[in-house]
Structure 1
Amino acid sequence: MEEIKIQGARIHNLKNINLKIPKRQLVVITGISGSGKSSLAFDILFEEGKNQYLQSIGILTGLDNEDRFDMIEGIGPTVAVHQNTVRQSNPRSTVGTKTGILNQLALVYACDGEVLDEHREHLSPGQFLYTTAEGMCISCQGRGSYFDIKLEQLIPDKTTTLFEVYESLKVTSGFLRILKKKYGEYFDTPFWHLPEDIQSEVVYGTYDNGKQSYCLERILKNAFEKGEDVEEVYVKTICKDCQGERISDDAREVFLRGKRIGELGQMTLTSLLKFLDGIPGEELSQFSKNVIKSVRQKLKYLIQFRLGHLMLYREMSSLSGGEVQRIFLYRHLESGMDSLIYIFDEPMAGLHPSEKQNVIKAIKKLRDIGNTVLVVEHDKEMIFQADHIIEIGPKAGVEGGIVVYQGDYEKYEKADTLLSQYIFNKCLVFERKVKKHIFDKQNSLTLDHADAHYLKDLTVEFPLHSMVGIAGLSGSGKSSLIEETLLKRLVSAKKYGRAIGIAGVERISGFVRISQAPIGRSSNSTPASYIGIWDKVRKLFAKQPEAKKRNMSAGHFSFHSKGACPDCGGSGYERIFLTADFSVDKQCQTCHGKRFQEESLFVKYKGKSITDVLEMSIEEACSFFLGQESIVKPLRILEQMGMNYLTLGQPTSSLSGGEAQRVKLAKELGKQRGGNILYVLDEPTTGLSMYDTALLLKLLDNLVLNGNSVIIIEHNIEVLKNCDYIIELGPEGGDMGGEIIAKGTPEQLRDNPNSKTGRYL
């Protein structure tokens, strides 16, 4: 069939829409946040494509469409990747293992590696890989590093008592009580006078069934993972045996053109390609020549996808959503498969304007080899290059869910939809009226010796009480400067009253970090629970006459407590695992996805059950709970941010990176703060249309007007244009980045020949 036909699609806010989507074309699905575009792309097309394929090969024949649509025809095997894909946290999963390049290099070393001891036994390919028992360095278990506690730094005073050690680390009163029961007799003893076994237990703890007891190492590890700057005392130490190369002694004695495989793993992909290009063909067997030819081709593709700044040993868990998608794109292009349906969720996220063309070319190549490529995207350039455009709208939530335009780019301009007005400049993105152009050293934060990762020992000044943009190509050092340096030093200054390498902290009264990290991994976390109103709603239901008559508490209105459906445990579905990391969900046949036991649904507040409340949008909930100020106030903030379409019970793990940031921002704005706060945001326009970006800019402008400071890592030109001051890193990514190539107002960057962002301003 030449097209995918959909009739009566009605999941979430989709209003029984009918669509014909052309196959073997690049189709962009767009619309403002909450319009229903992701419901169409992922909940209808991807889920049904996956389910039909599984049923066609005799797996899960009992699945039904759960009344999501009337009919779908012409769909085939579907592959999708979400922006908020939960990435592997396994430190052994790296760019090198994910792309297969490390395995290929291991073949070359096993075949043509030069050995200094002539009588050594020949090594197998597995012995060159840190992922195998025979190949990994025993000391660090193939991780290349471990953390050391510098006790002399942590406790420099020989008279400091054990109690004072705990006090300096801000141990909570609850844990302090537990520790007192265990070590009470030693609390007044100087730490350095403790018996050796007690000292060791206090620092490293004991293990029970593999679980570590509460100890200094655990305290410092938790602080490190929260982004606190504890690196003076909790130091990441490169493994002394393998020097970070992760591999065994035997493998480290084998060389290729003077380099060990572990050294190649620590190179950027750009440097690795240069190294392989420099190996003369006569030094290799025909087999190795073929393998290296394949590796070089892979590296060229990855560099073309703006991933040249990554190293083979870079852990997958540390990559951004955009980087993960680009690795996914590369792997599927390499496979050369055709007749598939690919669905991408904002592949342009995290890309500098100058980097977009290469990614668009790659997506088009996927189409050209015979696939249908659907892209959920707001990017102007991607929309311009599309064969077919579908806009879902006109607005969000109950005001969305309709196809407002379907066709090519030429006719899109005449469609006069909400988004086309922004795309064709008929409607301009919000512009700040008051911008500050005077840089005052006495009103700034200053970082000295910023050298995390590839930063080149920088001194950086951030103007306060203004909006500061951090720009630069992928991997140029933006996150290293803000996340790894500025924020860690601010946390250290706040928690311990001291921080090396930062000045001007006394000029702000506090700071808030708003990252793209998902809010909660489980479906139990919802906007209602995150912003703190869920307990209040449950207590309200427990006060109703029917609840009192049945002797029901607030716990009976929780789907992970007494109120949970007995069969699905409150999840609303049965999860069926086909492999360790691939599953499908089947709606619970007892509660039909409502998550609650029947008794909990008998109780009504203003005629609505607890499930009805969870299905309400923010906008509906504001009206429904009128008079309940403690519930309505946080909801109003979300409404002002253009998030009135979110439902109270939507799993927060399903939010895009941009949506998660705005919910976090709303929670912070709902707190009673005295002003003069520094807000740090990481690409908050991810997942936002130009209409939504305008709402965000208005909010950030209000923060600055009210005496706060904003630092924002961004590629979005509309946001950067509205900044008072921009700091641009570069010139390239990885070891070719880490320098400040331009700084100043948007107008100054525009006139600066060194700036790679200025020309787009």
Structure 2
Amino acid sequence: MDGKFIHIRGAKQNNLKNLDIKIPLNALTVLTGVSGSGKSTLAFDILYAEGQRRYVESFSAYARQFLDRMDKPDVESIEGIPPTIAIDQSRPVRTSRSTVGTMTELHDHFKLLFSKIAVLFCRGCARPVERDSAQSVYAKLSATAEGSPVILTFPLPPSSVNWDEVRSGLGQAGFHRLLVEQSIRELDELAARPSGDGPLQVVVDRFALRGTNKKRILDSLEQAFHYGKGRLNLFLPQEEWRCEPFSNHLHCAHCDISYRDPVANLFSFNSPLGACETCRGFGRVIDIDLDLVIPDPGKSLSDGAIKPWLNRTRRIRRLLDFCERKKVPTKKPWGELTDGQKNLVIDGDGEYKGIRGWFRRLERKSYRMHVRVLLARYRAYLMCPECQGSRLKADALNYKIEGKDIAQVSAMSVGDAQQFFQELKPAGALDQVASLILDEIRRRLGYLVGVGLEYLTLDRQSRTLSGGELERVDLTTAIGSSLVNTLYVLDEPSIGLHPRDSRRLVEILQRLRANQNTVVVVEHDPEIIKECDHIIDLGPKAGEQGGEVMFAGSYEDLLKDERSLTAAYLSQRKTIPFPARNRKPLLQRSIKIKGARANNLKDIDVEIPLGLFVCITGVSGSGKSSLVDEVIYRNLKKLKEAPTAGVTDCARIDGVDKISEVVLVDQAPVGTTPRSNPATYMKAFDGIRRLFAGADLSRLRGYTPSTFSFNVEGGRCETCRGEGYEKVEMQFLSDVYTSCAECHGSRFREEVLEVAYRGKNIRQILDLTVAEALEFFKDTAEIKNAIAPLWAVGLEYVRLGQPLTTLSGGESQRLKLAAHMAKSRKAGTLFIFDEPTTGLHFHDIE
């Protein structure tokens, strides 16, 4: 380390206690500490915000108005900070258009590569289609025997011009013969146009195929292409007058189909040029799911097999009349009807429009809220019937490289694609065109394999990736851009990585550092902490009791440190204890999944015992999330609503009746608005507002529970609309937030704050921590029960009114867990957690 540091003085942001910190430049620094100790504040709200802000301030005032403006962090000074890039998990991808290929820019390179070197195959006869020139036609003729007679003609399409004018026009151009039914006729002999509706074959030349004739043959071919508007025919009399058509356009002369020149956007599903017109490039269409419409095939039509029509007597009467006319049995179970009978009921016939027609009529009224809710109940995503999920128009799939079209290349996993492009060696001139693009593709695929993502397919939707995968994809994009002298701030890149793969991640981080970059990582993984040049440990506890530097230095010094909690766990002085005794599985109480096959699962059978703490583990990409999310959760949810519905991605699931409901706690972010806080999220604020509305002063003034909400008009301060602060837009500088001059940050009107419950007004209640609130409301069961789960998951230091946007990743993960614990009071609930220890320190996991 060359004595250069980023020096932060007097950091007081969020819960930091006036810190002075030095972070070495061109080194790998890790920030660690318990969840909520201020790691993310230091990394993102100070380092990233300031680095980004200074970079943006260097632009002209005009350019700045288009860029995100970061707030100035609450510090005295920061020196030596380079431009900053943050790679975190808080920006999940919402659109289905984004795939692994588009995120890593691999798809853009594929588009270029296909438009430059792919070979077009005719959709009619599957022959390669290429532009012919006089030279290439001559080269193809060399396969014919030496001395063979050849007749060269060009086609003249039928036109409305009278025959005499056609004849004199051809004569002036120097053409005097036609080929009519395998014999050559002089134009002067033909008084009328030859019969037949095809084009006329105008003879350009007759020659014997010899090397000595080469110049004459080439000149004649050029002339035929010119007059035939790019098309000519060669007739070989000795081979039963076989005709060989040629074209110098992208045109298959055999099938008479013309093709457009390939442009890069023809291969993009995000461009109207290339996107399939039925699904508009999404690969799926929204349609009615008949399993949800007819959930029980054991019922007959007269018993109400069609669920949405259960209480619609007029609809049922029309259906039964129609069935009588068409001889469809209405007393027979739906499952026993023939396919033809089912189709009549579903698609209708003539006047009667069937189930689909009824839904189509509803779709015309979808501006009404209740109609949209009804439609949503019976809809599902189905594969697009036009493009079969490839997202592209058929034209784009006619172009192939090594026999694969762009959809097949995108459907490969990263590992397979890497092998395919390593072995791809374009011939001759194509190699020079493609070498730049190919080098970039190989490099990017190499990085994806490097961070342990070789199992992802390139067409996998970005929104189905876990937080850790998404971050590592972003990381490869960052390395791919080869920036130098930049500060990278990473938020737990090891999430979702099996310990086996941590080593590779460290190598990638060291590669970033080798490019003269500074890397700051917020991390709990011992392997990554061990490999770092510099470690900063924050603590001692979370929230108000955190925000101090417990340790700063190297890994060896950290292990000897007495104060640091992280050191205690890394040096094994403290360990996470195993339970004293394990629970035994109960007989007959389990869920059995047969033949699971989502994504990469190979028809596996799984049995999950109920009433126990079950863990599903494996290396990254082994199919854990596929099994849990797509097979178990989706199907159980569907089966709970319609017990006989068909299951997807597996053969069958037994034991659904053993559980009462199913709850998924995933890694989706909790709140994106500063208006939500732990009290509103845990539904405790409703009870608190009712308590205040019941106070004597409130009843006297006619206050209702909504008077005590800062989200609706009534009791909130209208100057700041219940935000507690006002945003002053500074045109080209970052916005300044000032405490509201009217309510001084309390969010409520003064007269509302006069109402007190046990000596505290509503503002003071929101300032209580969870621990203080539990003590304060110990006699009010409703509120106590609502916030008790927060204590159970270790969030006793959080204030009831703290905006959710200020919680760290680990805290929001636990808040979600607490909310689900509060919601499900039923016995027999199946909880599914997706990596619940995300963002947690050893101490929090315990």
With the shorter chain as reference, the TM-score category is 0.7 to 0.9
* Structure 2 residue aligned with 1:240: 385
Residue aligning to 2:104: 99
Superposed displacement of residue 159, structure 1: 2.3
Structure 2 residue 619 is matched with structure 1 residue 469: no
Are 1:277 and 2:414 counterparts?
no
Structure 1 range deviating more: 641-650 or 89-98: 641-650
Task: From the superposition, tell whether residues 653 and 206 of structure 1 become closer, same or farther in structure 2 (CA, over 3 Å).
Answer: farther
The 5-angstrom pairing of residues 488-503 of structure 1 reads 488-498=634-644, 501-503=652-654
Deviation of residue 520 (structure 1)?
A: 4.0
Please, which of 724, 740, 763 is the counterpart of residue 590 of structure 1?
A: 740
Query: CA, structure 1 residues 27+518, in 2 after alignment: closer, same or farther (shift >3 Å)?
Result: same
Distance 1:515 1:278, change over 3 A: same
Q: Which residue identity does 1:203 align to in structure 2? A: F
Q: Secondary structure at the match of 1:467?
A: coil
Judging changes above 3 Å, is the alpha-carbon distance between structure 1 residues 205 and 429 closer, same or farther for their aligned structure 2 residues? farther
Moved more, 559-568 or 111-120: 559-568
Tell me, yes or no, if structure 1 residue 531 matches structure 2 residue 682.
Answer: yes
Letter in 2 for 1:282: A
* Aligned residue among 72, 76, 80 for 1:74: 80
- In structure 2, distance between residues paired with 1:578 and 1:293: 46
Equivalence for 1:741: none
Which residue of 1 is the match for residue 18 of structure 2? Answer: 16
Matched, 1:203 2:345: no
Instruction: Work out whether residues 638 and 666 of structure 1, in 8 Å CA contact, stay in contact via their aligned partners in 2.
Output: yes
Give the direction of change, closer, same or farther, for the CA distance of 1:276–1:56 in structure 2 (3 Å limit): closer
Amino acid at match of 1:619: A
Q: Distance in 1 between matches of 2:68 and 2:469?
A: 37
Query: Match of 2:396?
Result: 251
Separation in 2 of the partners of 1:201 and 1:574? 53
Find out whether 1:365 has 2:367 as its counterpart: no
**Distance verdict in 2 for CA 1:214–1:640, change over 3 Å:** closer
- Greater C-alpha Rg: 2
Q: Do the aligned partners of 2:71 and 2:735 also contact (CA within 8 Å) in 1? A: no
State how 1:103-252 maps to structure 2 within 5 Å. 103-117=108-122, 118=129, 119=251, 120-151=259-290, 154-155=293-294, 156=297, 159-160=301-302, 165-166=307-308, 185-186=314-315, 190=319, 193=322, 196=352, 199-200=355-356, 202-204=358-360, 206=362, 211=367, 214-215=370-371, 219=374, 221=376, 236-252=381-397
Which structure 1 residue ranges, 5 or more long, are not aligned? Answer: 169-179, 224-233, 695-761
SS at match of 2:588: helix
Q: Using the TM superposition, give the Cα deviation of residue 256 of structure 1 relative to its aligned residue in structure 2, in angstroms.
A: 1.0
Cα shift readout 1:120-167 (whole Å, capped 9, x = no counterpart): 331111111111111111111011222433548833556257796238
For residue 709 of structure 1, what is the aligned residue in structure 2?
none
SS for the counterpart of 2:581 is: coil
In structure 1, C-alpha distance between the alignment counterparts of 2:52 and 2:551, rounded to whole Å: 27
Relative to the length of structure 1, the TM-score reads: 0.79
**Is the 1:63–1:586 Cα contact (8 Å) retained in structure 2?**
no
Relative distance call for 1:362 and 1:565 in structure 2 (3 A) is farther
SS of the aligned residue for 2:664 comes to: strand
What's the secondary structure of 2:594's corresponding residue?
strand
The 5 Å alignment of 1:458-607 reads 458-498=604-644, 501-544=652-695, 547=698, 551-562=702-713, 563-571=715-723, 586-587=736-737, 590=740, 595-596=747-748, 600-601=752-753, 603-606=755-758
Give the counterpart of 1:313 among 459, 464, 472.
Answer: 459
Query: How far apart, in 2, do the equivalents of 1:263 and 1:650 lie?
Result: 49
Question: 1:98, 1:373 → 2: CA distance?
Answer: 22
User: Once the two structures are superposed, what CA deviation does each residue of 1:591-625 show, in whole Å capped at 9, x if it has no partner?
Assistant: 67655556555555455553443343222322333
Structure 2 residue aligned with 1:669, among 821, 831, 836? 821
Q: Which amino acid is the alignment partner of residue 663 of structure 1?
A: L
Amino acid paired to 2:545: E
> How far apart are 1:209 and its partner, in Å?
9.7
State percent identity of aligned pairs. Answer: 35
Residue deviations 1:287-306 (CA, integer Å, cap 9, x gap):
11221121011101111111
Question: Which residue, out of 765, 773, 780, partners 1:628?
Answer: 780
Aligned pairs (5 A) from 1:370-381: 370-381=516-527
Counterpart amino acid of 2:666? Answer: S
Q: Following the alignment from structure 1 to structure 2, what is the Cα–Cα distance between the partners of residues 276 and 578?
A: 51
Q: Is the 8 A contact 1:245 1:262 kept in 2?
A: yes
Structure 2, unaligned runs of 5 or more: 123-128, 130-250, 252-258, 323-347
**Structure 1, 194-203 or 258-267: larger mean CA deviation:** 194-203
Question: Is 2:448–2:476's contact at 8 Å kept on the other side of the alignment?
Answer: yes
* Residues 440/107 of structure 1: CA separation in 2 closer, same or farther (3 Å cut): same
Single out whichever of 619-628 and 684-693 deviates more from structure 2.
Answer: 619-628
Q: Is the 2:40–2:808 contact (alpha carbons within 8 Å) kept by the matching residues of 1?
A: no
Q: Contact 1:514–1:680 (CA<8 Å) still a contact in 2?
A: yes
For 1:622, give the aligned amino acid.
Answer: L
Q: CA RMSD in A?
A: 3.4
**Residues 497 and 619 of structure 2 are in contact (CA less than 8 Å); yes or no, is this contact kept in structure 1?**
yes
Residues 35, 396 of structure 1: 8 Å contact kept: yes
AA aligned to 1:298 is R
> What corresponds to 2:326 in structure 1?
none
Look up the equivalent residue of 1:489 and give its one-letter code.
N
Range moving further from structure 2, 17-26 or 536-545: 536-545
Counterpart in 1 of 2:34? Answer: 32
Partner deviation per Cα, 1:652-703 (whole Å, 9 max, x = no partner): 4554554344323323433574644432211101011001111xxxxxxxxx
Identify which range, 273-282 or 390-399, moves more after superposition: 273-282
What amino acid sits opposite 1:95 in the alignment? V
Q: CA deviation at 1:15?
A: 1.8
Asked if structure 2 preserves the Cα contact closer than 8 Å seen for 1:78 and 1:343, the reply is: yes
2:728/2:737 contact within 8 Å kept: no
Relative to structure 1, the CA distance from residue 546 to residue 409 in structure 2 (aligned partners, 3 Å threshold; closer, same or farther) is farther
CA distance in 2, matches of 1:369, 1:45: 20
**Whole-Å separation in 2 of the counterparts to 1:610 and 1:78:** 41
Offset at residue 552 of structure 1 (A): 3.6
What SS class does the counterpart of residue 718 from structure 2 fall into? coil
- 2:97 corresponds to which letter in structure 1? R
User: Partners of 1:37 and 1:110 in 2: how far apart?
Assistant: 47
1:430 to 577, 583, 595: 577
Partner of 1:399: 545
Are the counterparts in 1 of residues 585 and 611 from structure 2 also a CA contact under 8 Å? no
8 Å CA contact 1:397, 1:645 repeated in 2: yes
Aligned length: 666
Aligned equivalents of 2:318, 2:385: Cα separation in 1: 34
Looking at structure 1, the residues matched to 727 and 418 of structure 2 have their Cα atoms a distance apart, in angstroms, of 43
Q: 1:647 aligns with which of 799, 824, 828?
A: 799
User: Counterpart amino acid of 1:51?
Assistant: R
Distance 1:12 1:311, change over 3 A: same
Is residue 565 of structure 2 the alignment partner of residue 418 of structure 1? Answer: yes
Q: In the superposition, relative to structure 1, how do residues 596 and 355 fare at CA in structure 2: closer, same or farther (>3 Å)?
A: farther
In the TM superposition, residue 260 of structure 1 has moved relative to its aligned partner by: 0.9
Please say if residues 205 and 212 of structure 1, whose CA atoms lie closer than 8 Å, have aligned partners that are also in contact. Answer: no
Native 8 Å contact 1:656 1:686 kept in 2: no
Task: Give the residue type in structure 2 aligned to 1:382.
Answer: I
Q: Could you report, residue by residue, the CA deviation over 1:257-304 in whole angstroms, capped at 9, with x for unpaired residues?
A: 111111111111111122222323326331112211210111011111
CA contact (8 A) 2:9 2:20 kept: yes
Would the alpha carbon gap of residues 577 and 684 (structure 1) be closer, same or farther in structure 2, given more than 3 Å must change?
A: farther
